[in-house]
Amino acid sequence: MSDRLSKEFFTIYHAAVFEALGDDAQKYNVKIGITLANHLLKNLAKHPENEEEFKNIIESYFKSSFQFSDIADMKFGGDGSASLYVKGCDICPGNEILRGMGKKGMCPIAHLVKSIMARTLKKHVELLGSDKPGPIGECYLKYKVG
């Protein structure tokens, strides 16, 4: 038996939470991401000191107890860019419910990664947005790191 919640439950729960937050949803989306980042940082034996260590820690975390997707692949470009490729995300179907109600989708994962990256690499990190090339649950979260 899996320790993971059912996708159906999580989809509906995610949409319900952000629908209930109403006009404050965006503010809490960021706050939830930062809170999740704080939890991860608190439980790390050693904070990453470079991009390769960050990549290893974030991918390991996403594949273990914080498994929210089938694939989570972090990449750093030599030009100060970074991206997290996600496929099979459990959050995205809930965002589709929100969009169906005329609301904006909310992704605290984008802010979790931004917060951890800025604090551990001690660099300014800007969330540039996301590209959604495929089916629901597949995206590239894009960052500028400087």
Contact at 8 Å (CB) between 87 and 5? Answer: no
Contact at 8 Å (CB) between 22 and 101? Answer: no
Q: Which CATH number fits domain 7-145: 3.10.350.10, 3.30.1380.20, 3.90.870.10, 3.10.150.10?
A: 3.30.1380.20
H/E stretch holding 12 reads helix 7-21
Question: Domain limits of the chain?
Answer: 7-145
Per-residue tokens: 10: 């999580």
The pLDDT tens digits of the residues spanning 122-144 come to 999 999 999 999 899 999 999 99
The pLDDT tens digits of the residues spanning 29-74 come to 999 999 999 999 999 989 999 999 999 999 998 888 788 899 999 9
Number of helices and strands (H, E) in the chain? 5, 4
Per-residue tokens: 48: 């990453």
Q: What is the pLDDT of residue 2?
A: 59
Q: What is the pLDDT of residue 63?
A: 86
